Structure 1
Amino acid sequence: MGPVGLVKLSGGDEVTNPDGFGSRETDSQNYVHNPVMVSEVLNYISMAPIGMVVDATVGLGGHAAQILEAISSSTLLGLDRDADALALAQTNLGKFEGRFRLVNQPFSAIAEEVTRAQTSGFASAGPVVILADLGVSSMQLDDSSRGFSIRNEGPLDMRMDRASDVSAERILNEASFDELFHLLRDQDEPHARRIAQAVVEHRPFATTTELALAIEKVVPYHMRRGRIHPATRTFQAIRIAVNSEGSELDRLLLDGIELLVQGGIFVVISYHSGEDRATKRAFLSASTGGCVCPKALGCVCGAVSLGEVLTRGAKLPTSAEISGNPRSRSARLRAFRRGGGS
Structure 2
Amino acid sequence: MSNTVKIVRFHKTGPAEVLQFDELPLPEPGPGEIRLRVKALGLNRAEIMFRNGQYLETPVHPAKNGYEAAGIIEATGPDVDGSWIGKTVSTVPGTFKLNDHGVYGEVAVVPLHGIAEYPSTLSYEQGASIWMQYLTAYGALIWLGQVAKGDFVVITAASSSVGIAAIEMVKVEGAISIAVTRTAAKKAELLKLGADHVIVTDEEDLVARVNEITLGKGARIVFDPIGGKILESLAASTASKGIIFEYGALAPEPTPYPLFTALAKHLTIRAYTLFELTPDPVFPKAKQYIFDHLALGAFRPIIDKTFPFAEIVEAHRYMESNAQIGKIVVTL
Both structures adopt the same fold (TM-score exceeding 0.5): no
Structure (1 or 2) with the greater strand fraction: 2
> Which TM-score applies when normalising by structure 1?
0.34
Q: Which has the higher helix share?
A: 1
